[in-house]
Amino acid sequence: MKKKEKALVVLSGGQDSTTCLLWARKEYEEVFAVSFDYNQRHRKELECAKAICGEFHVSHKILDLTQLNELAPNSLTRADIKVDEDAPEQGTPNTYVEGRNMLFLTYAAVYAKGLGIRDIITGVSQSDFSGYPDCRNVFIKSLNTTLNLAMEYEFEIITPLMWLDKEETWEMADRLGGLEIVRDRTLTCYNGIMGEGCGHCPACKLRRNGYLRYMERKQNG
Ligand code: ZN
Of the two residues 143 and 66, the one the predictor is more confident about is 143
17 dihedral zone (left: phi>0; alpha: psi -120 to 50; beta): alpha
Gap from CA of 193 to ligand 1 centroid (Å): 7
Q: State the distance from the centre of ligand 1 to the C-alpha of 207, rounded, in angstroms.
A: 9
Per-residue buried b or exposed e for 20-57, using 16+ beta carbons within 10 Å of the residue's own CB: bbbbbbeebebbbbbbbebbbbbebbbebbbbbbeebe
pLDDT tens, position by position, 132-187? 889 999 999 999 999 999 999 999 999 999 999 999 999 999 999 999 999 999 99
Cα of 210 vs centre of ligand 1, distance in Å, is 14
What pLDDT score does 90 carry? 66
Residues with CB under 5 A from ligand 1 (ion): 189, 191, 197-198, 201, 204
How far is ligand 1, taken at its centre, from the CA of residue 202, in Å? Answer: 7
Closest CA to 14 of 98, 130, 119, 113: 130
Q: Over range 82-93, report the average pLDDT.
A: 66
- Domains in the chain (CATH in brackets) are 4-165 (3.40.50.620)
Q: How do residues 191-202 score in pLDDT, each as one tens digit?
A: 889 999 999 988
Average pLDDT, the chain: 91
> 131 or 50, which is more confident?
50
